A and B are shown apart, each in its own frame.
Chain A
Amino acid sequence: MRIFDPHIHMTSRTTDDYEAMYAAGVRAVTEPAFWLGQPRSGAASFYDYFDSLVGWERFRASQFGIRHHCTIALNPKEANDPRCAEVLDVLPRYLAKDGVVAVGEVGFDSMTDAEEKAFIRQLDLAGEHDLPVLVHTPHRDKVEGTRRTLELVAASGLPPERVLVDHLNEVTVDLVAESGCWLGFSIYPDTKMDEHRMVRILTDYGLDRMIVNSAADWGRSDPLKTAKTGQAMRDAGFSEDDVDRLLWRNPVAFYGQSGRLLLDPIDNAAVDQTATFEGNSVLRGQRPA
């Protein structure tokens, strides 16, 4: 089984996770730029974070045989902080980089005017940089947030097939299915969506434009939820080809619209874990046994 996790915050995960993900079949990931769990206090903090997404984290993943891509954006929550607003003006420099495969995560958190303004501006940036968009839907007032999201996407003039609306569940799936956008589902240990509910949705809606991710981050989450969803699909009678389509071909088709996927396989046996990125090795100076 080959897996592309299309939404996972590897910056928050350990090398044990990378090893377990590789063993479970994960060969590529996309890490969306998002919140750190506490507020940033200024734009420079974003730039260091973006630098790590296109630099250190891509290097770290490669040491475990996993191709790492990222999406870049000012996230909805911090779009409300005027100290961070200048990030919008600098985003084009990052959206132009190799391995940046979408604008994201954009969207709504509390549905404020500032969030809407940043969302619209970043939908425009996606058009200007010929990139797909990854949209976060809010945890609170989710249906209304998703409805407004789809209105703004339609008004942007972006083709719906270049937009992935994420963190869906049983109450928002219909809205997005009708819109022509891609449908993203984050499979969590105890919130949002689990793999068995996911299989029921797949049974009802089919596999077209369906995307499943672990969205693993610094909170309670499981980077192997993509693999576990694959197993739940098999248990429910889906074929190997169905699993491959959901967990590999669909995310590749969506992010492939950027023309910037880096999917040549890494020969994991040949990876030199003593290699360094800006002087830092993942072995922290130790040689492999």
Chain B
Amino acid sequence: MTDLLDDLLDNKGRARLTELIDEVTSTPARIAVLFPAVARAVGRGPADPDDPDGLVTPRVEDQARVALLRAAAQGWHTDDLVTEIGALYRHGDADEKRAVLRALDHLDVGDVALDLVGDALRGNDTRLIAAALGPYAARHLDTHNWRHGVLKCLFTGVPLAVVSGIAERGDAELARMVEGFADERRAAGRDVPADATWLLNQLTSKRPDLDVAPGTGNRS
């Protein structure tokens, strides 16, 4: 359990999560039925009241599910872990899928779970898109799909603060795509989201005087 999660839970939730972690540590396969039950067993709610969907800061139940999956992972060889991650995602509701995506950042599975990231990025659920573009995608997702993921954030109003690796992976082609998006918005008489302007500045360094952080809310 992380310190952050520890602070978010009440005594009962903390004790219950410790029990669940012990259970999957001794019997990893139990995660199939304990993972869905985490929210009602341990607790649920935003970790940051200003981020109710947990786009930037994972919600309490997301963090608890990640802790549980990390514990189960200790008891598995990689092949079994990958199989179970796939099943948790396939049969998960949106909350469970989100937690699986968050957990990928902490699991040693290489790039074999990229199909889950691809699934999340094909949909339009902003909570899943946000969870899919963390450090795991920054490390493993191919450049074409990563760029399209960033662009999808701008289209769907997912704050770019959720995207890992912009400084390292952003390139001229992404800048071209964002510029095209901004042109299209202007042509339609619509506002250009502040995150798009911020990103263009990051990528082109045309205005190094502009020192703003990416947004943390949906403002498009």
Contacts and interface: CB of A to CB of B under 8 A. Distances in A.
Interface of A: 47, 50-51, 54-55, 90, 92-98, 129, 259-260, 276-280
A278 B90 contact: no
B209 interface: no
Task: Enumerate the 4 nearest inter-chain pairs by beta-carbon distance, A residue then B residue, closest first.
Answer: A279-B124, A96-B36, A96-B33, A278-B125
B34 interface: yes
B150 to A, nearest CB: 18
Contacts of B208: none
Given A98-B39, A98-B40, A93 B124 contact: no
B122 to A, nearest CB: 10
Given A94-B91, A96-B37, 7 more contacts: A55-B93, A93-B91, A96-B33, A277-B125, A278-B94, A278-B124, A279-B124
Bin chain B's interface residue count: 10 to 19
B123 interface: yes
Contact of B32 (A50, A92, A276): A92
* SS of B interface (majority): helix
A279 B128 CA distance: 11
B213 interface: no
- The residue among B34, B35, B36, B125 with the most chain A CB atoms within 10 A of its own CB is B36
B172 interface: no
B15 interface: no
A96 B34 contact: yes
A31 B183 CA distance: 47
Interface string B29-51: 00011111101100000000000
Nearest to B124: A279
Nearest to B91: A93
A98 B36 contact: yes
A52 to B, nearest CB: 10
Contacts of B34: 96
Nearest to A50: B91
Contacts of B37: 96-98
Contacts of A98: 36-37, 39-40, 93
Nearest to B123: A278
B32 A93 contact: yes
A163 B12 CA distance: 31
B212 interface: no
A47 B91 contact: yes
Contacts of A47: 90-91
B36 A97 contact: yes
5 contacts: A47-B90, A93-B36, A96-B34, A279-B156, A280-B124
A121 B37 CA distance: 22
A11 to B, nearest CB: 16
A51 B93 contact: yes
A54 B93 contact: yes
Nearest to B87: A93
A265 to B, nearest CB: 19
Contacts of B32: 92-93, 96
Contacts of A50: 91
A93 B30 CA distance: 10
